[in-house]
Amino acid sequence: MPFIQDAGAPDGLPVVPLYVNGSPHPVDKDRLFPIVNSVENKTIHYAVSADPDSATRACDAASEAFKSWRKTSPAHRRSLLLKAADVLDRRREEIMDWQVRETSCPKEFAAFNIMAGAMYAREIAAATSEIRGTVSQRLSKPDGEEIGGLTIVVREPVGVVLIIPPWNGAVILPVRAISMALAAGCAIVVKASELCPRLHSVLVECFEEAGIPKGVLNIIQAKREDAVQVVESIVSHKAIRKVDFIGSAAVGSKIGQVCAKYLKPILMELGGKGPAIILEDADLQKAAQLCAMGAVADHGQLCFSTERIIVHKSVYDRFVAILTAIFSKIPAAGDSVTRQSATHAYDVLVDAQEKGAKFLVGGPEYIRPTSLKPTLVTNVSRDARIWDEETFGPSASVYIAEDDDDAIAKANDSAYGLNAAVHSTSWEHAYNVSKQLEYGQVHINNMTPSDSPGAPIRGVKGSGWGQSNSIWGIHEFSIEKTLSFHPSEVNPLIMPS
């Protein structure tokens, strides 16, 4: 997919085109929007914003390609996904560079994204071996005597799907979503993030380089002012059978309403307010290190981030002293994807301070316009925004729990239910607590930002619905169809007595 030069963009900068049916669309200079590196506060290139007509063409191309792609075998799709993972590995440096340039993430986080993205693609490829149907018992008379016939259940791709990936986890999450849909036999329209369209287009290049036929995988982007109209034009298209959205609960709610309007199912992985519970028998040093890492990774811009730390009162003072010492030694936690995002994280801390919160480390203070000081907050009041709003900044709030039941109640006191962590030196103790937590994933003695490619991942409550990863993700993009074969000698309108 070409990164178009000499397209008439300001300052002669290159342009990310719309890519439909295996080729870039001609660039409309009137529909260009800038892609800005937040740290430099500088436009690094431009992208073409889609309109309903171009979005419809993408759906039409995917619909036509689906006719033949759906007939491919799981083994064939597996081989292409494995090749795509190899291409991701080979183009590692290039992909890392685009993620850093467009999202301002640390290079180490970009490197992790490439490694994990390829790993997820390989796991999903392996899971194609589990795509199978079932055979039911034959028909019988009321007295139980068999009369022949056969009922089988086959699994088929759901159809053309819309995938809307985010800018955070900007390699892992789109690779995972694309791989699941392709493995199921679906054709795809990707609506790239408006913050990193070049990165997402390079990922599509990797799949095409691996041999995915033209039209099976199409990618467009839209500036925020156009996004609502463009997304609805895709969701409403007769070929679209499902939507996969990864992003904030606020945007997910709006897209979910659009899907409901057109009776289209949606897979959603939304926000979180990840709690880490420190039980009285926890390894305090290890738990503190993991909580700190989970809070500040990629400037706290992960839906899995450790946002709340709930500590048993018997170890509270000792744990907080250790955690404070660790936070105090973190000079910086990276940069926000935009300056507006940094401002949001800052404003949430200011609001907490105005409502009585205290800062054990840091506070509402910038290191630079895109980076805040790593911050530990305590004495948070229930009416503060930070109580249950994602900060997307390098901060965590610390709470004291009277006992295990109080810790569980505090952890569950959230609109979200994505990831949680429990720290204990007793697996049985941690297990008993974990069973009572209202979260899709609970990690024992690990960070909240954790995931296993071979296990399902899902949100509960306000963190979405449906499952991703491995065969569970493939099943999200397929349907079970029942085929019933009646014996030729039996009249189905007259059942034998």
Q: Determine the average pLDDT of the residues in 214-222.
A: 98
Q: Is the pLDDT of residue 497 over 70?
A: no
- CA distances to 325, 377, 394 from 380, in Å: 20, 7, 16
Q: Among 280, 303, 390, 476, which one carries the catalytic annotation?
A: 303
Confidence tier at 495 by pLDDT (50, 70, 90): low
Evaluate whether residue 454 is within a structural domain.
no
In this structure, the number of other CB atoms found within 10 A of the CB of residue 495 comes to: 11
pLDDT given for residue 47 in this prediction: 97
**CA atoms of 473 and 93, how far apart (whole Å):** 28
Measured between alpha carbons, how far is 266 from 272 in angstroms, rounded to an integer? 18
- Over residues 275-293, the mean pLDDT reads 98
Cα(224)–Cα(391) distance, rounded to whole angstroms? 21
In-domain check, residue 219: yes
Which sign, positive or negative, has the C-alpha torsion 71, 72, 74, 75? positive
Residues 172-200 pLDDT 10s? 999 999 999 999 999 999 999 999 999 99
Same structural domain for residues 109 and 203? yes
pLDDT, mean of residues 403-418? 98
- What's the pLDDT score for residue 140? 74
Average pLDDT over residues 470-477: 98
State whether 237 and 382 are in the same domain.
no
Specify the pTM.
0.95
pLDDT-derived band at 151, boundaries 50, 70, 90: confident
Residue 494 confidence (pLDDT) above 70: no
Mean predicted confidence (pLDDT) in 111-139: 92
Query: Which of 269, 280, 307, 476 is labelled catalytic?
Result: 269
b/e per residue 30-47 (b: at least 16 CB within 10 A):
ebbbebbbbbeeeeebbb
Q: Are 286 and 474 in contact (CB under 8 A)?
A: no
Number of domains in the chain: 2
Q: Of 132-136, 281-285, 448-452, which range is least confident?
A: 132-136
Q: Do 240 and 285 have their domain in common?
A: no
SS3 186: coil
Does the pLDDT value for residue 419 go beyond 80? Answer: yes
What pLDDT was estimated at residue 487?
A: 80
Q: What is the pLDDT of residues 36-45, one digit of tens each?
A: 999 999 999 9
In this structure, the answer to whether residues 249 and 336 fall within a common structural domain is no
The CATH number of residue 399's host domain is 3.40.309.10
What pLDDT shows up at residue 1? 57
Query: Can you tell me the mean pLDDT for 131-145?
Result: 79
Is there a catalytic annotation at residue 259?
Answer: no
DSSP summary character for residue 355: T
Query: In angstroms, rounded to a whole number, what is the distance separating the alpha carbons of residues 68 and 187?
Result: 10
Per-residue pLDDT at 488 exceeds 80: no
CA distances to 290, 333, 368, 398, 488 from 377, rounded to whole Å, are 17, 16, 20, 6, 74
Q: Is the residue at 342 inside a domain?
A: yes
| Residues 237, 190 share a domain | yes
pLDDT given for residue 26 in this prediction:
87
**Domain hosting residue 191, numbered range:** 50-271+464-480
Backbone angles phi, psi at 296, to 5 degrees: -105, -10
Model confidence at 270: pLDDT above 90: yes
Residues 98 and 214 in one domain: yes
Active site residue 232: no
Residue 278 pLDDT greater than 70, yes or no: yes
